[in-house]
Amino acid sequence: MLAVIYLIASMLVGAVLVFLTKPSWETRLKVLFGNEKIINPSFLLFPAIYLTGTLVLSWITYFLAVAFSASKNPLLFANIAALSLTAVLITCTCFFKRVWLKKWFSELKKYGLHIRFSWQEWTILIGSALFWSIFIIRSLYAQGEVLHAGVSAFSDFGAHFPVIRSFSRGSNFPAQYPHFPDGTMRYHFMFYFMAGNLEFLGFNFPMALNLPSILSLICFSMLLYSLGAALTKKPLAGLVTCGLFAFRSSFAFFTYSKGFDSLKDFIHALANNLNVDGSGREHIGSTMNESWGLWAQKVYVNQRHLAFAFGLFILVMFLLLPLFVETVEKLKNITRRDHPDKKPENSFVCYLKSILFTREAWLPQSYASCILAGLLLGMMAFWNGAVVITGISILFVMAALSRHKFEYLITAVITFLLSTMQSRLFVGSGTGAVSFRYEPGFLAQSDKLGDILSYFVELLGILPFMLLGVFLVFISKDKKWLRYVAAIVFILPLIIYLPSVGLVWSFVIIGACAAFFLYIAAHKDIQMNALSPWLIPVFLGPIVLASTLQLTPDITVNHKYIIFAMILLNIPVSDLLTNLFEKRSVSARVIAGGMFLMLTLTGIVDLITLYNLDKNSVTYNQAEPVQVWVQDETDPHAIFLTHYMTHYNAPMSIFLAGRSVYNGYPYFTMTAGYNIDHRGEVMTRIYSADDPQQLRKLAISEGIDYIVIEEQNRSANEYTLNEEVFYNTFPVAFEDTGRQIVIFKVE
């Protein structure tokens, strides 16, 4: 019940914030939507309220818990104080806005509450709720005391579960990383703090993580639909954008299917997650690490904080994108003259003057809007830092192409200041969670342009060529010869860089794209929003960033930048497809349907793969003696030395009890930016120790409270365990004879 009250309080906080900042966003939304009622305002209201309210109230609750960290139960007092502050905020707002509220209640009583969503809006709302709920819940559920983590997600959950339980069952204030407790938190943890708080307030563990995950995905889908519909002025394009978000474009389907001898074998392999040789597989795709599911729906199932941050950034875009839209709109009229006999000035020169050499080019149009955007983006840093970096890359390109550049600068400065403050607070001074290194090519593993293009063509499928089709539409309709030349030029990169998919698929793919380009070149009546080609360089920003800079120890993390770029680039593609779908021409609809199918085939297989993966699960018994003892008998701040493989056995039981381990799973700690070499060496020295005095001295000096010995330690390759020395050095604090687990107290 308390968890439900907290969720309601979050939305009330969000409602107040949205209401009080109405002047900042209302004018900007009018630029995007104009006088056309493309989106019902209520459709935008729910995601804005949920995301902003959760963002703000979670930060308030966390800092209150830090303030009460000396108490026995910091989260209890933090929630009491946070809910009290919410009550005061609501009361004050109702008092000062009582006239407006009285009028609103009067109209509500007179006319009732009418929510008139369009069929497209209902489709997104209900469809996203059902679609994502199925896969989120299948990846994490409980049967009695046993937690089931789906095979698709259990690996990443190995990083997330400890963070959640460190708040709900431990006392992790100020926050430090449970896999590497050293007083710092280099992982964007706030989504998992929010989930931990919901469990603390009464939700069971799966509900505490699943419900905000589902709500985040619903909100993101609603906002993505709204953005797509607003930019294209076509509700159907918003639907298509969401469809392309759910089912990615890639040539992985074609490279995977080429080796099968019969359709029957292919269907059997698809249905059972098999390779052509009959061996088991996870996700399809031959580019580096694609089998991890880096680009599939799996990303949102195991990276639960991603959709929440994506949704918040779309809210930021609603605040700043209108500046870019107005710039492009002005460009359409920039060469018009009062005297038609005068030669119009070159449009490109006029555009450069407009964005560089006028007062409007630099001075802010609205301080409130850019400040609000900066606050939202800056507060996201420890919800998902990768999305903040992605957002900055998009805003940078947008600022270069827009007027009112100081608005973007103000947003960037506020974001930088807030991010730096959080980094200093959680990571420490003189250190940073982000470092810059020039690393061209991303996972192409080459700095040669040809290799990089080959990689991205295989990864993105026909999406880049659909974007070329958008540009083809805008080539002068009076220069038909130029349109045909461009169509031929645009098909050449596909012929050159198409991956090995077999002769039949090569003819199908090249033939379909050639027909697509030739149809566009031949028809002058394809009507697209003039903004669409301008969106492409803006949304390409994160791909350029991912392909040039390495910001974390593992460059694979850059895949989040590319994911968001792909999602946004689907908007101009959807604009084009929608126009073709809406034509009465059979050929146009066949071409549009064929291209849409080719865009989504890999995503459909990804979904089948995800469904099959989560037929099986990794289980964690919450009634395990180790977990019960650790939770009931040890200090919440205790640090345990365990084997580094923390996904299983005693280490995970310790995590689920809300405690930390001295040296957790290396991939999690290394990619978060921790220096793991020293602790790895200490772990080896302790477990291979022969001298009791040196063993005790080393364990105490490293702040270790308990040492765990189990089968993973006894069979380790890194050291030879001398178990007897531990019995001679430390008292046994706990022993599970059935599972042969012994825990020694360091003293």
SS3 sequence of 577-637: HHHHHCCCCHHHHHHHHHHHHHHHHHHHHHHHHHHHHCCCEEEEECCCHHHHHHHHHCCCC
pLDDT at 190: 97
Which single residue is written with the structure tokens 């939305």?
Answer: 11
Q: Is residue 618 part of a domain?
A: no
Same domain, 315 and 263: no
Supply 51's token pair.
Answer: 């995301």
Same domain, 372 and 396: yes
Same domain, 402 and 546: no
Mean pLDDT across 217-242: 96
> How many structural domains comprise the chain?
4
Q: Is residue 576 part of a domain?
A: yes
DSSP-derived pairing of the beta strands 617-621 and 639-641: unpaired
pLDDT digits (tens, 9 = 90+) for 250-268: 999 999 998 898 899 999 9
Q: How far apart are CA 259 and CA 151, in angstroms?
A: 27
Supply 12's token pair.
Answer: 């009330």
Burial of 98 (0-12, 13-18, 19+ CB in 10 A): exposed
Q: How far apart are CA 402 and CA 315, in angstroms?
A: 19
Same domain, 104 and 154: yes
Q: How far apart are CA 119 and CA 657, in angstroms?
A: 46
pLDDT at 434: 57
Same domain, 348 and 485: no
pLDDT at 96: 83
Answer with the one of 223, 244, 276 that is the final residue of a domain.
223
Q: Is residue 62 part of a domain?
A: yes
Same domain, 317 and 245: no
Residues 6 or more apart whose Cβ sits within 8 Å of residue 308? 51, 54, 191, 212, 216, 219, 220, 383, 384
pLDDT at 428: 82
* Beta carbons of 523 and 587 less than 8 angstroms apart: no
Same domain, 510 and 499: yes
Which single residue is written with the structure tokens 């792909």?
Answer: 566
Answer with the one of 207, 223, 239 that is the final residue of a domain.
223
Same domain, 241 and 390: no
pLDDT at 203: 97
Compute how many other C-beta atoms are within 10 angstroms of the C-beta atom of residue 727: 13
Distances from the Cα of 571 to the Cα of 217, 222, 535, 564, 581, angstroms: 18, 14, 8, 12, 15
Cis preceding-peptide flag for 174 (omega within 30 of 0): yes
Same domain, 283 and 186: no
Q: What are phi and psi of 548, to 5 degrees?
A: -125, -35
Q: Is the pTM of this model over 0.75?
A: yes
Q: Is residue 480 part of a domain?
A: yes
Same domain, 606 and 685: no
Answer with the one of 195, 223, 251 that is the final residue of a domain.
223
pLDDT digits (tens, 9 = 90+) for 424-470: 999 986 544 556 788 899 999 888 999 999 999 999 999 999 999 99
Mean pLDDT across 358-381: 95
Residues 6 or more apart whose Cβ sits within 8 Å of residue 244? 567, 570, 573, 574, 599, 600
Q: How far apart are CA 522 and CA 483, in angstroms?
A: 8
Burial of 479 (0-12, 13-18, 19+ CB in 10 A): exposed
Query: Residue 610 above 50 pLDDT?
Result: yes
Question: Please, what is the Cα angle at 70 between 707 and 638, to 5 degrees?
Answer: 5
What average pLDDT does the structure give for the chain?
A: 92
Same domain, 651 and 571: no
Q: What are phi and psi of 30, to 5 degrees?
A: -65, -35
Q: How far apart are CA 20 and CA 353, in angstroms?
A: 37
pLDDT at 400: 95
Going through 133-199 in order, the beta strands assigned E by DSSP cover: 140-143, 146-150
Q: Is residue 280 part of a domain?
A: yes
Residue 38 structural domain: 2-223
Same domain, 249 and 217: no
